[in-house]
Amino acid sequence: RPPTMENVQVLADRFWTQFLRHYLLTLQTRSKWQAGQLVLKSTTLDIVVTGESGSGKSSFINAFCGVGDEDPEAAKTGVTETTREVIPYVHPNMPTVRLWDLPGIGTLAFQPKTDLEVVGLYQYDFFIIVASEQFLEYHVTLAQCTGQAGKKFYFVRNKVDNDLEASVRRGGGEISAILNQIRDDSSAALRRSGVQQPRVFLISCFQPHLFDFPLLHTTLESELEGHKRHILLLALPNLTSTVCRKSGCT
């Protein structure tokens, strides 16, 4: 039996209602996505990287951004510090993420309390304190000033690949035992200097997929909140692809 005009009208009304609901839902989803993109584009993340000259700060900044030291946008490495100005490096893929090189630490001219006030301690989200050998008094003073301002800080013990090579030449033990010893010694020295529960990450900027670089990533992710966490996730490099790019694998 052919449908009546009344049945056709009912079906048409039902179809039209479903279409409108789907269309409005699509608009709402797109609107929310666009709003989220605007928020991400307006959310900034400012990270201070500091340490004495020669500790590998520039290489750390480059590894954090997923660029090689030879890339045009990379922080210059192997350069003797001649200025006390804070130098910003904008993330190549996330322009609202900036890493700030705080120079001068370890020199007689460095005055932590005064210098941190000058650079505006409160405008930064967290601090990475880099050392290539021992953590010394000025590292501790910097951490204490940062902590007193309510800012989080993380100790990075860089160039552990050099330590491992030196230990192997001396006929040292297992790699895991050597790394644990470096971590324990660094943490113990910081605790003796008054740093409570120091967090020390052992890294090699030339082998970021090894050691504690991935752990540093996940720690930062877990301790940031809201949109800052989201832009950090977008900014962090894929460590596997970084390794391939640096080693030339295809």
CATH of the domain at 83: 3.40.50.300
Lowest mean pLDDT among 40-44, 132-136, 177-181: 40-44
Lowest mean pLDDT among 106-110, 155-159, 183-187: 106-110
Residue 5, domain member (yes or no): no
Residue 9, domain member (yes or no): no
pLDDT band at 16 (very low <50, low <70, confident <90, very high): low
DSSP 125: S
Q: Is pLDDT of 136 > 50?
A: yes
Residue 227, domain member (yes or no): yes
pLDDT band at 14 (very low <50, low <70, confident <90, very high): confident
**Average of pLDDT values for 145-149?**
83
Alpha carbon distances (Å) from 6 to 20, 59, 92: 21, 75, 62
The closest of 148, 79, 87, 81 to 112, measured between CA atoms, is 148
pLDDT at 109: 54
Domain count, the chain: 1
Q: What angle do CA 121, 81, 89 make, to 5 degrees?
A: 55
Strand partners, 131: 157
- Among 95-104, 216-225, 239-248, the range with the most confident prediction by mean pLDDT is 216-225
* Chain centre distance of CA 39: 20
Residue 1, domain member (yes or no): no
Q: Is pLDDT of 18 > 80?
A: no
Q: Is pLDDT of 108 > 80?
A: no
Residue 23, domain member (yes or no): no
Q: Is pLDDT of 151 > 60?
A: yes
pLDDT at 1: 61
pLDDT at 9: 67
Lowest mean pLDDT among 18-32, 58-72, 88-102, 236-250: 236-250
What residue numbers bound the domain in which 239 lies?
46-247
pLDDT at 130: 93
Which one is predicted more confidently, 155 or 102?
A: 155
pLDDT band at 155 (very low <50, low <70, confident <90, very high): very high
Residue position matching structure tokens 């990533």: 217
Residue 149, domain member (yes or no): yes
Lowest mean pLDDT among 71-75, 125-129, 215-219: 71-75
Residue 16, domain member (yes or no): no
- Give the mean pLDDT of the chain: 78
Q: Is pLDDT of 201 > 90?
A: yes
Residue 84, domain member (yes or no): yes
223-240: pLDDT as tens digits: 998 888 888 888 887 754
Q: Is pLDDT of 29 > 60?
A: yes
- pTM for the full model? 0.75
Residue position matching structure tokens 């989201």: 230
> Can you list the alpha helix ranges (DSSP code H) found in 86-136?
112-119
pLDDT band at 126 (very low <50, low <70, confident <90, very high): very high
Report the alpha-carbon distance of residue 143 to residue 186 in Å, rounded: 14
